[in-house]
Amino acid sequence: MIPYSEIEKAIDAVAEKINRDYQGKEGRNAILCILNGSILFTSELMKRSKFDAELLTMKISSYEGTTSTGIIREVIGLSGDVAGKNILIVEDIVDSGNTIEVIYNEMKAKGAAEVKVCTMLSKPGCYKKDIPLDYVALEIPDDFVVGFGLDYNELGRNYKNIYTLDK
């Protein structure tokens, strides 16, 4: 579906926008990597970043196979304090927005100074939340995809390209 060369170009473009917004930003910055799916995307963004930021992680789960359970579970809690910090949530994919809504609200409740959302992939036809997606690398149709961090039952994350799962 998306060759690695296109993924790289999209990451370059979104990293440029983030750098423009975060270089010289007042306060302490933190990049929140949502495990496991956004590890590769977060890594690539950090390699391109031109501003200081600490790295935070948390692991959220809501899928079984190709279907969202509708239940958002925090598998591994937040790895650090967000109070007073500018938080950039980095997700692999946003479809319904249920997970982003939970994470965003948690960051606000824990006292983050600012919360922005960055996603590698967005499914605009599925997204119905009011939380802005501040940085979107690529928009895709409502297909189940694997590769570049995205999985099917924990497999396929290591693929360099992104593929549509063949049912």
CATH class belonging to 4-142? alpha beta
Quick one: which H or E segment has residue 114?
strand 114-122
Q: What is the residue whose two structure tokens read 């390699």?
A: 47
Q: At what angle do helices 4-22 and 39-48 cross, to 10 degrees?
A: 60
Q: Measure the CA angle with vertex 165, ends 7 and 167; round to 5°.
A: 165
Residues with a known catalytic role: 95
What tens digit of pLDDT does each residue of 98-117 get? 999 999 999 999 999 999 99
Tokens 């790289």 found at: 8
Is residue 60's pLDDT more than 90?
no
pLDDT digits (tens, 9 = 90+) for 5-34: 999 999 999 999 999 999 989 999 999 999
| Prediction pTM value | 0.92
* Backbone phi, psi, residue 99, to 5°: -65, -45
Q: Could you give the angle at the alpha carbon of 98 between the alpha carbons of 47 and 138, nearest 5°?
A: 40
Query: Which pLDDT score is estimated for 65?
Result: 56
State CA 37 to chain mean position distance: 8
CB under 8 Å to 160, separation ≥6 — which residues?
4, 147, 148
Length of the chain: 167
